[in-house]
Structure 1
């Protein structure tokens, strides 16, 4: 019952107790959350700037000039 009384004091008290008892797990969990957040931000930025526009493909692709994807083709 001592664990539930400690948990009822709030999330801050639970975090402090965890930091004192298992700092490796708490620290790595914080770093994992930061890493997941940065990955999501990077993926959103990649796809919002049309990062999936590959210069080289295995097959030839023929596009009409009025196709909206034709304006995004890189010429470098």
Structure 2
């Protein structure tokens, strides 16, 4: 017989799910947390110009009027 926790509210649904399938709910919560961390990481990567690597394996030529040219490292 299924647990008789409140069936109509979101809290009741989550409590019933936690009682019946805790592995699925826990892995889902950890998955959402990981997606949130990845989103923040990608945002900060592009915000801080993370693709501006100092030593690249191939050459990239920028025109002087290109806004990325000001951010290129000079050695």
- Structure 1 segments, 4+ long, off by >6 Å, are none
Secondary structure of 2:41's counterpart equals helix
Partner residue in 2 for 1:49: 48
Does the alignment pair 1:30 with 2:29? yes
Question: In the aligned structure 1, how far is the partner of 2:18 from the partner of 2:44?
Answer: 34
Q: More helix per residue: 1 or 2?
A: 1
Does the alignment pair 1:11 with 2:44? no
Secondary structure of 2:28's counterpart equals helix
Structure 2 unpaired stretches of 5+: none
**Deviation readout 1:1-56 (Å, 9 max, x if unpaired):** x9xxx64x111100000000111111111000000011001101101111111223
RMSD: 2.1
How far is 1:60 from its partner? Answer: 2.4
TM-score (norm 2): 0.76
TM-score (norm 1): 0.75
